[in-house]
Amino acid sequence: MINSYRSFWRKSFDFKGRTARPDFWLAAAANTIVIIAVLALGALLVGLWGDSATAGPITFLVIYSLGAIVPNISIQVRRLRDAGFSPWLLLLSLIPYLGGIILFIMYLQPSKSTS
């Protein structure tokens, strides 16, 4: 998981390559763990010191989320390409609910061989 997460950040601006299914899902899991950890830290601090303690975790979460936008888009483009789909299909995410479900199914597809 750590190697997939490192690759997620190292290949932030690589929109040409491919990302295998395990690397994609391990990077997604690592991202989720980071976000949950920050939210748990925020809840802990609020429990200990009240509402004045939320600024730090919320600020970190906002900065992390903004910083992860480009790497998230690039890994999704690479995963779509690896599964044999056009990267332009990422625009399906603009369709509420249905687009996300369709993309989720596409991300689950096995890698297509490059002939």
pLDDT at res. 61: 85
| Domain presence at residue 115 | no
Residue range(s) defining the domain that contains residue 22: 2-107
| Domain presence at residue 68 | yes
Measure CA of the first residue to CA of the last residue in the chain; give whole Å.
29
The band of 113, judged by pLDDT with boundaries at 50, 70 and 90, is confident
Per-residue pLDDT reduced to its tens digit, 25-67: 999 999 999 989 888 887 887 777 777 666 777 888 889 899 9
| Domain presence at residue 77 | yes
Least confident range of 17-21, 45-49, 67-71, 74-78: 45-49
State how many domains the chain has.
1
Kindly report the average pLDDT of the chain as a whole number. Answer: 89
| Nearest Cα to Cα of residue 108 among 25, 29, 30, 17 | 25
| Domain presence at residue 113 | no
Full-model pTM: 0.84
Which residue did the predictor score with more confidence, 90 or 40?
Answer: 90
